[in-house]
Amino acid sequence: MKSPLRLGLAGLGTVGASLARLIETKSETLTNRVGRPIELAGVSARDRSRDRGFDTSQLAWFDDPVALARDGDIDVFVELIGGETGPALDAVKAALGRGLPVVTANKALLAHHGVALATLAARSETEILFEAAVAGGIPIIKTMREALSGNDVTRVYGILNGTCNYMLTRMEDEGIAFDDCLKDAQRLGYAEADPTFDIGGFDAAHKLAILTSLAFGCEIDLDSVFIEGISSVTNEDIEAAAELGYRIKLLAVAQLTETGIEQRVHPTMIPAHSALAQVDGVTNAVAVDSDLLGSILLAGPGAGGDATASAVLSDIMDVAGGVLPPTLGLPPAKLVPYRRARMRAHEGGYYIRLSVYDRVGAFASIARRMAENEISLESIVQRRREHAADATTAPVILVTHETTEAAVRKALELVSKDGHLKNEPKMIRIEALD
Amino acid sequence: MKSPLRLGLAGLGTVGASLARLIETKSETLTNRVGRPIELAGVSARDRSRDRGFDTSQLAWFDDPVALARDGDIDVFVELIGGETGPALDAVKAALGRGLPVVTANKALLAHHGVALATLAARSETEILFEAAVAGGIPIIKTMREALSGNDVTRVYGILNGTCNYMLTRMEDEGIAFDDCLKDAQRLGYAEADPTFDIGGFDAAHKLAILTSLAFGCEIDLDSVFIEGISSVTNEDIEAAAELGYRIKLLAVAQLTETGIEQRVHPTMIPAHSALAQVDGVTNAVAVDSDLLGSILLAGPGAGGDATASAVLSDIMDVAGGVLPPTLGLPPAKLVPYRRARMRAHEGGYYIRLSVYDRVGAFASIARRMAENEISLESIVQRRREHAADATTAPVILVTHETTEAAVRKALELVSKDGHLKNEPKMIRIEALD
């Protein structure tokens, strides 16, 4: 039997407490599988007295995570504190500086400092493992870094935020309005009191920025992600999507184009019969298109204490077995700079919803503006008038064939100027999945 | 730069030739990713003169794969010969005997000799990697062995045979009869001249037997797999399934029950709205249920030269990086003996199709036999008579709630004895997926 792997665990929230319990209850199984015991050798959290469902009295306790990382008698530092700066960043730097491998679930830390930390790790001949940082329990990091290591990736995309997917699913299934759905999600613990990070698309953008680096061997560039959240999606959009054979998901997409890489997070219509469209509730899913494999899809739990702890545990098991792949799939010096695509995000079809004044010639005028901008229409439908009391406008739904975002924005600007629209036009991108 | 990893490659069929080309064309990328060059140092195949799309003149050529495995100046032996005995087995044994890691795509070899070979490998302090042996390009072996290493698995199931899935998809989409569909599949290269191994369910059974070992930490037991192929599935069954909200797939299922492990491969009705039901054509998919993750699903290409070579390549990259996990997820001595479940395979719902003589009381008599065997019916439907010329029988379709296979078999035997049936009853198992 080899010597035990001694963990220093910083952060005892939902995931940290779950991990600590698993290391205790699964001790024998884990030892059998990896050939050496896994031990909790030091712990850091804010309040030692809180009951977390396991015995902390025998553990070496550090009030300061940086002290644990710097001085703990440990072989690996597990960072489950969260946050892109402060103690999480300082502790990870301290651990890497000592040459300790770091296991983390911290997407913000990686999205902001991933390349710098990978460089620091490489300098100390160690690495950072972060399976839990993207898509919770889905092994997408291992898959991209190891299983696809012979592939050239052309696109990675998926449903990366469980809160948004839960809300869109309930809005569709039960016809609940966005605001009521959000209240429910908050009551059930699927959304934070301040939900902006999730429903604004920022959480998904952080995860996407990390995947982009693994997919294309480039530096992480969070600032280049085009981000649009789900708060503008209405039940009417969801109904119209269903009629057209689509479902609306918050999709995160990173794609290699001729001029560079495109990263975007936005509500997207995807074909109702695609496998991704069946991914409901808090489940996450990621698809990768590559030269050798064509397309593969992974779906599973995107959050939750045990599911996330499972991902952390698999990284710890890798460390225990001596497996330390390069943090971002390549040695940091081999990462190429991020090259942003020249085009405005997304080339594809568009769903456009207009509130049009009910006047002779409006329809024809809108169609002409589209044609002028070389936008070919798949369908143009006038739906029932919006309210009995407001008979002067009617919703018009356009579905375009493949075009560019620039063309659509230009055409809609002109339609607005023509005075046909009561409100700002609404636009949802359509993604062709194979 | 570390020293090159020298490959000995035995077998230059579709996958082997694809692999050899990739090692040449992707040389720089692979070297960057793994930190050392990957070189083809020796090759063995039957006919040296055949054009395989790459230059073999500079390679150390072995007519005998065993000689390559035994004497080649190589660091890893890649077995792509196929077959459970003969040169593949002998060469793998020779390589392991020398302490060389083996990478193979050979499901039959592993399903029959996996535990013995893993034991031989462990004795020489090496391992066998076999990502390509199950579900082609889908990284299910890595996922089960590494990503799920903290999990206790309760069920693994999936669509593991592309030929069958291609045929069932076309039968459903185009209403083509089984025999015509098979001819098409053969013409397109999706089915062998002798298709028994695929459509009889044997190929899926081999793959399932390997997954079962990884899922439950037990020895491989191919003989315990209950196998039923797809040749009895008719267009009428597929239509009836669609009406009931199901699709028919050849599912391979390994499940932990109270009395042991159940392994089965058979045509199965799965809910039309499940993600697995969207897996069409030659695509494969595998789902794993486990304690920490709940359920995860992986879908992707199950066959093809490049997709399979991609899986082989990921194993080679692991070897190059010094990653050698235990062949079957545990040291061979820790594998528990396979314990077969006591019950007849499958507990769940059943679809039953009867050709019933059109007589007063037949319906009631059938329903009574079901009740006597404590089978509760979800629906019982008499469909249109089978032929205008044969007005004496009518198809009756029963859908049962959850019950056991033993009860269904007993009830159908009695119904047959009662003289109501023109033909043997037809039964398709229903799998509840969450």
B297 → closest Cβ in A295, A299, A323: A299
Whether the per-residue pLDDT at A101 is higher than 80: the answer is yes
pLDDT of the residue at A409? 93
Ligand-binding annotation for A265, yes or no, is: no
Most confident segment among B47-61, B158-172, B377-391: B158-172
Place of tokens 């896994």: A38
Q: pLDDT tens for residues A196-249?
A: 999 999 999 999 999 999 999 999 999 999 999 999 999 999 999 999 999 999
- Active site amino acids of B: 207
Q: What is the mean pLDDT of residues A96-125?
A: 98
**In terms of Cα–Cα distance, which of A289, A269, A251, A296 is closest to A160?**
A251
A405 or B100: which carries more pLDDT confidence? B100
By the 8 A CB rule, do A154 and A289 touch? Answer: yes
pLDDT digits (tens, 9 = 90+) for A375-425: 999 888 877 665 545 558 888 899 999 999 889 999 999 999 999 999 899
The span from the CA of A288 to the CA of A275, in Å, is 13
Q: Which positions in chain B touch A313 (Cβ < 8 Å)?
A: 149-150, 292
The domains of chain A are located at 5-104, 140-301, 347-430
**Band of pLDDT at residue A299, cut at 50, 70 and 90:** very high
Q: Which residue of B has its CA nearest to A30?
A: B150
Spatial separation of the C-alpha atoms in residues A172 and A152, rounded to whole Å: 36
Q: Which residues of B16-43 are buried (b: 16+ CB within 10 A; e: fewer)?
A: bbbbbbbbeebeebbbebbeebbbbbbb
Contact map slice: B 154-213 vs A, CB within 8 A: none
Predicted local confidence at residue B432, as pLDDT: 83
Say if residue A17 carries a ligand binding annotation: yes
**In chain B, what residues touch A147 (CB-CB under 8 Å)?**
131, 139, 142, 311, 314
Q: Is A309 on the interface with B (CB under 8 A)?
A: yes
Read off the tokens for B190.
């999706």
Which residue does chain A place closest to B285, by CA atoms?
A297
Average pLDDT rounded to a whole number, residues A320-328: 93
Residue A38's pLDDT is what?
Answer: 97
Instruction: Give me chain B's average pLDDT, please.
Output: 93
CA distance linking residue B19 with residue B371, whole number of Å: 58
Query: d(Cα B290, Cα B153) in Å, to the nearest integer?
Result: 4
Name which of A362, A33, A297 is nearest A156 in CA terms: A297
Tell whether B270 is within 8 A of chain A (Cβ): no
Q: Is B347 annotated as a binding residue?
A: no
Q: List chain B residues with CB under 8 Å of A278.
A: 273-275, 278
Is B12 among the annotated ligand-binding positions?
yes
Lowest mean pLDDT among A341-345, B233-237, B241-245, B362-366: A341-345
Rounded Cα–Cα distance for residues B19 and B90 (Å): 22
Does B313 sit within 8 Å of A150, measured CB to CB?
A: yes
The pLDDT value recorded for residue A63 is: 93
- Give the confidence band of B14 by pLDDT, cuts at 50, 70, 90: very high
Same fold, A140-301 and A347-430: no
Give the integer Cα–Cα distance in Å for A58 and A242: 57
Confidence bin at A52 (pLDDT 50/70/90):
confident
- Put simply, whether A34 touches B (Cβ < 8 Å) is yes
pLDDT exceeds cutoff 60 at B146: yes
DSSP-derived secondary structure letter, A146: I
Taking CB atoms and an 8 Å cutoff, what residues of chain A touch B139?
Answer: 139, 142-143, 146-148, 296
| pLDDT for the residue A57 | 79
Q: Give the whole-angstrom CA distance, residue B126 versus residue B136.
A: 23
Residue range B78-101: average pLDDT? 97
Q: What percent of chain B has pLDDT over 70?
A: 97
Query: Which among B62, B20, B293, B51 has a CA at the least distance from the CA of B155?
Result: B293
The amino acid that residue A95 corresponds to is A
Could you tell me the two tokens for A273?
A: 């019969």
Q: Which of B147, B291, B307 sits opposite A314 (nearest CB)?
A: B147
pLDDT in the model for residue A389: 56
CA–CA distance, A414 with A368 (Å, rounded to integer):
10
CA nearest to B307 within chain A: A293
The answer to the question of whether A275 is labelled as a binding residue is: no
**CB–CB contacts below 8 A, A to B:** 172
Q: Does A278 touch chain B (CB under 8 A)?
A: yes
- Chain A nearest-CA distance from B327, in A, is 11
- Model pLDDT, residue A386: 58
Phi, psi of B202 (to 5 degrees): -70, -40
Q: Are strands A393-400 and A347-357 parallel, antiparallel or unpaired?
A: antiparallel
Architecture of the A347-430 domain: 2-Layer Sandwich (3.30)
Query: Could you write out the three-class secondary structure of B109-137?
Result: HHHHHHHHHHHHHHHCCCCEECHHHCCCC
Do A245 and A270 touch, CB atoms closer than 8 A?
Answer: no
In sign, the C-alpha dihedral spanning A137, A141, A142, A148 is positive
| Distance in angstroms (rounded) separating the CA atoms of residues A298 and B117 | 31
Partner-chain residue, chosen from B142, B294, B299, that has the shortest CB–CB distance to A297:
B299
Interstrand relation of B260-271 and B246-257 (parallel, antiparallel or unpaired): antiparallel
Distance (Å, rounded) from C-alpha A212 to C-alpha A219?
Answer: 8
Instruction: Say if the Cβ atoms of A300 and B301 lie within 8 Å.
Output: no
Per-residue pLDDT band at B392 (split at 50, 70, 90): confident
Give the mean pLDDT of chain A: 93
Q: Which residues of A touch B278 (CB under 8 A)?
A: 273-275, 278
Catalytic residue among A207, A249, A334, A410: A207
Residues A92, A78: Cα–Cα separation, whole Å: 9
Per-residue confidence at A358, pLDDT binned at 50, 70, 90?
confident
- Tell me if B279 and A274 make a contact (CB, 8 A cut-off): no
| B311–A147 C-beta distance less than 8 A | yes
User: Which residues in chain A are contacts of B319 at CB distance < 8 A?
Assistant: none
How far lies A316's CA from each of A38, A127, A146, A310, B396, in Å? 9, 12, 16, 10, 56
pLDDT band at B394 (very low <50, low <70, confident <90, very high): confident
CATH for the A5-104 domain, from 3.30.428.10, 3.40.50.620, 3.30.565.10, 3.40.50.720: 3.40.50.720
Confirm or deny that B14 is annotated as ligand binding: yes
Asked whether the beta carbons of residue A296 and residue B297 sit closer than 8 angstroms, the reply is no
Burial A330-363 (b: 16+ CB within 10 A, else e): bebeebeebbebeeebbbbbbbbbbbbebeeebb
Interface test with B, best of A22, A23, A153, A293 (most B CBs within 10 A): A293
Rounded distance between C-alpha atoms, residue B122 and residue B101, angstroms = 10
Considering only CB atoms, B150 lies closest to which of A22, A147, A329, namely A22
CA distance A255 to chain B (A): 19
Query: Which positions in chain A touch B279 (Cβ < 8 Å)?
Result: 275
Average of pLDDT values for A295-301? 97
Task: Give the Cα separation of B130 and A349 in Å (integer).
Answer: 41
Q: Tokens in use for A223?
A: 């600032």
Q: Which residues of B131-152 are buried (b: 16+ CB within 10 A; e: fewer)?
A: bbbbbbbbbbbbbbbbbbbbbe
* CB-closest option in A22, A138, A278 to B296: A138
* DSSP H helices in A161-228: 162-174, 178-187, 196-199, 202-216
Is 80 exceeded by the pLDDT of residue B271?
Answer: yes
Residues A32, B325: C-beta atoms closer than 8 Å: no
Cα A299 to Cα B311: distance, rounded to the nearest angstrom: 20
User: Between B251 and B433, whose confidence is greater?
Assistant: B251
Tell me the CATH class for A140-301. alpha beta
Min Cα–Cα distance to chain B from A358, Å? 40
Q: Give residue B240's pLDDT band: very low, low, confident or very high (50, 70, 90).
A: very high
Contact of A377 with chain B, judged by CB distance below 8 Å, is answered with: no
Q: How many CA atoms lie within 13 A of A404 on its CB side?
A: 9
Is B192 marked as a binding-site residue?
Answer: yes
Q: What pLDDT does B50 receive?
A: 82
How far is it between the farthest Cα atoms of chain A?
Answer: 84
**Yes or no, beta carbons of A291 and B306 under 8 Å apart:** yes
